[in-house]
Structure 1
C-alpha cells in the first residue's frame, strides 16, 4: 500500500510499472517518497512562515496545506516530465529548466525553516533593533516637543529674572534709606529727616511694584508650567501610542532581514540540504540507466505516435483523392449537350427579363 502510494507520488505510469520488475518499482517508489517528503517539509515551512504573518494556527495550517500540495504537484510534474533519451546531452537540456525550478522551490522551502531553526538568534537581533527603534522614536518625538518646552522655559526664566531684578532694586533702595537713617551715607545726618522720608517712600513704592510684579509673573509662570506639563503629557502619550508598533516589529520581513544579518554559512548549508533533496529525483533519473519502464513507456508513446501519423497521412490521401474525383466529375459534366442547352435557355430568359425591366424603367421616366 505504501509502496503503491509512493509510486503514484512519482508521477510514473502505474499500469506500466505493475508489469515491470521489482527493481523498477522500488526505484520509482524511492523517487515518489522524495517528492512526498519534500512536499511535507514545504507544508511545515510554509505553515510556520504564515503563522508569523497571521498569528492564527488554523489559518497557517490551511494555507500551509495548500502550499504543500502546490509544491507536491510541481515536484511530481518535474519528475514525471523527464524522459530517458538516447543522448545524455538531450537529457541535460531537457532537465535544465526543471533544475532551475527545483532551485527556486528549494529556496522557498528552506527559508522559513531557517527562520525557525535560528529563532533565538533572530529574536536577539530583533530585540536590539527594537531598542534602537525605541530610542530613535523617542528622539524623533522629542524634536516635536523640545523646542516648545525650551521656549516656555525661557519665558519662565525671563519672568523670574524680571522679578529678581526688581527685587535687587528694592533691596538697594532699602539699604539707601537705612543708611540715611543711620547717618552712614547720603546726608550723613543721624535720624529720620526729610531725605530719609523721601527715600523711604521711594523704597515703599518700589516694594509695592515688586509685590504686584511677583503676583503677575507668578500667575504667568504657573500658566507656563501648566503648558509645559501638558507638553510632557502629550509626549508620554505619543510614546505610549507608538511603542506597540515597535513592539510588533517581528513580522516575516523583519525576521528575514534579521536572518540576513547572521553569518551566512549555516543558512547556506541548510539551503544546500534542501537543494539536494529537491534535485535528487531529477539527478536520479538522469544518472539511472534506461530501464524496463523507460523502454515500455517509449514503446507505448511511439506506438501512439505511429497511429496518429498514419491517420493524418490517410486523411491527406483521402482529401487528395476526393479532389481528383470532383475535378473529373465536373469535367465530364461540361461536355454534356443537354446541360448546355438548359443553361442557354435560362440565360436567354434572364436577358429578356433584364431588357423588359430596363424598358419599363425608361418609360416611367418619360
Structure 2
C-alpha cells in the first residue's frame, strides 16, 4: 500500500500463504507496517513447518507399523506400504497443521506487553499442553529415523536372540511330548530301546574283535569273533521276534513319533518368521532410547517442543502494534454495524473481577417492537370485547322476552 509518508513493499504469494497459516488478516496486514507483515509471515512459517514435519513423522511411523516384517538389516522397501504411508502422512500433516493453526489464532496477546505473566500462562496452559502432546508425536518417529542404522543392528541382535530362545522352547516342548508318548506306550518302547542298545554294544564288540582292538586278542575271525557274531545274530532275532509280537503298538508309536518330528520341524521353520515379527514401532522406540540414551532423547523431544510451543509464547510476548489497533477498530466497526455496544469494565462479579456489559441494540429494538405490538394487540382485544358486550346488551334491551321465558 502506497502512502505519501510510508510505502509498503508488495506482498508475494508465499508471504500471503504464510499469513493464512498464521491466521492473519490480509486486508489489515497490507495496511499495517512491514514489521507486522514479517512477524505473521514467520509465525505462519513455524506453523507450516510443524505441519510438514508432522506429516513426515506420521508417514514414517505408519510405514514402520504396516511394512512387511523381515530381517532388520535386509528389509527391502515395500512400495504398496510407501504409497499408503504417503497418503496417511498427508492426512496427518494437514490435521496437525489445522490444530496448530487453531492454537495460534486462538492465543491472544495477553496484556500486550513483552513480559509473560502468571495469568497469561494459566490462560495459555491448555494450548501449551496440546502443543507438548503434538511435539511428542512428531519427535519419536523422527528420533527412530535419525538412529535407524544403530537401531537396525540392535534390533537384528534381538531377533537372533528371540529366534534361539524360541527354538530352545520348541525343542524342550517336543522333547517333553515325546517322553509323554513313550510313557503312554508303557515298557514296550523301553524294552525295545534296551534291546537296540545291547545290539549296538554287541556290534561294537564284534567289530573291535575283528580289528584286534581287544587286549591280548589277535585280529581276525577267530573263535571269540564267531561267538560274538553268534551273540549278535541272537540279539537281532530277539529284536525281530519282539517287533513281531508288538508290531501294531510299535507301528503306532513310530507313526506318532514321526508326526511329532514333522510338527517339530514345522515349528522350527517358524522361528525366523516369529523373530522377524519383533520389528514394530514400540520396539524401535525402546531401542532408540537405549541407543541414544536419556539425555539425547530428551534433547530431541525438547527441541520439537520448542518449535511447537514457540508460536504460543511468541504471541504472548508480542506488544500491540498497528495491526492490533486496526483489528480492534475493525471489530468495533463490525459491532457498530450490527448494533452491538460493549461497555468495558462496567461492573464487578461476586469474585470482584471486572466484567464487560454487552448491549445488543438491534436485538433490543426488535424485542421493544414485539412488546409494543403485543401491548397494542391487548388493547385492541379489550376494545373488541367491550364492543361485543355493548352489542349483546342492546339485543337484550330490544328483545327481553327472547332471553328470559317464564316457566309455565
Q: Normalising by structure 2, what TM-score?
A: 0.66
Give deviations 1:117-165, integer Å, cap 9, x for gaps.
1222322332233233223322332233102434649865532535778
- Hey, what does 1:293 align to over in structure 2? 323
- Hey, what does 2:374 align to over in structure 1? 323
- Of the three residues 286, 289, 302, the one matched with 1:257 is 286
- Of the three residues 6, 14, 36, the one matched with 2:48 is 36
- Of the three residues 313, 317, 335, the one matched with 1:283 is 313
The alpha-carbon distance between structure 1 residues 344 and 152, as it changes in their structure 2 partners (threshold 3 A), is farther
Tell me the CA shift for residue 326 of structure 1. Answer: 2.5
**8 Å contact 1:83–1:91 — kept in the other structure?**
no
- Paired with 2:367 and 2:171, the residues of 1 have a C-alpha distance of 86
Summarize the alignment of residues 100-111 of structure 1 with structure 2, pairs less than 5 Å apart: 100-111=129-140
Give deviations 1:14-50, integer Å, cap 9, x for gaps.
1111111111011000000001111111111111111
**8 Å contact 2:64–2:280 — kept in the other structure?**
yes
Structure 1's unaligned 5+ residue stretches are 169-205, 347-351, 353-366
- Of the three residues 334, 337, 345, the one matched with 1:304 is 334
Give deviations 1:299-342, integer Å, cap 9, x for gaps.
22233334242212212222232233223333333433x55424
**8 Å contact 1:48–1:60 — kept in the other structure?**
yes
The alpha-carbon distance between structure 1 residues 93 and 167, as it changes in their structure 2 partners (threshold 3 A), is closer
Aligned residues: 309
Give deviations 1:333-352, integer Å, cap 9, x for gaps.
3433x554249979xxxxx9
**8 Å contact 2:55–2:93 — kept in the other structure?**
yes
Give deviations 1:227-246, integer Å, cap 9, x for gaps.
65553343122110343132
Give deviations 1:190-243, integer Å, cap 9, x for gaps.
xxxxxxxxxxxxxxxx99975541323467799566765553343122110343
**8 Å contact 1:152–1:228 — kept in the other structure?**
no
Give deviations 1:41-85, integer Å, cap 9, x for gaps.
111111111111233111111110111111111111111112234
**8 Å contact 2:138–2:304 — kept in the other structure?**
yes
Q: Kindly indicate whether residue 52 of structure 2 is the aligned counterpart of residue 22 of structure 1.
A: no
- Paired with 2:118 and 2:320, the residues of 1 have a C-alpha distance of 15
**8 Å contact 1:50–1:60 — kept in the other structure?**
yes
Summarize the alignment of residues 3-82 of structure 1 with structure 2, pairs less than 5 Å apart: 3-55=15-67, 56-82=81-107
**8 Å contact 1:84–1:294 — kept in the other structure?**
no
- Hey, what does 2:169 align to over in structure 1? 140
**8 Å contact 1:10–1:28 — kept in the other structure?**
yes
- Hey, what does 2:124 align to over in structure 1? 95
Q: Kindly indicate whether residue 391 of structure 2 is the aligned counterpart of residue 341 of structure 1.
A: yes
- Paired with 2:171 and 2:394, the residues of 1 have a C-alpha distance of 108
1:250 is paired with a residue of what secondary structure? coil
**8 Å contact 1:163–1:213 — kept in the other structure?**
no
**8 Å contact 2:167–2:271 — kept in the other structure?**
no
1:295 is paired with a residue of what secondary structure? helix
2:270 is paired with a residue of what secondary structure? helix
Q: Which has the higher helix share?
A: 1
The alpha-carbon distance between structure 1 residues 91 and 322, as it changes in their structure 2 partners (threshold 3 A), is farther
The alpha-carbon distance between structure 1 residues 166 and 126, as it changes in their structure 2 partners (threshold 3 A), is closer
| CA-atom RMSD in angstroms | 3.4
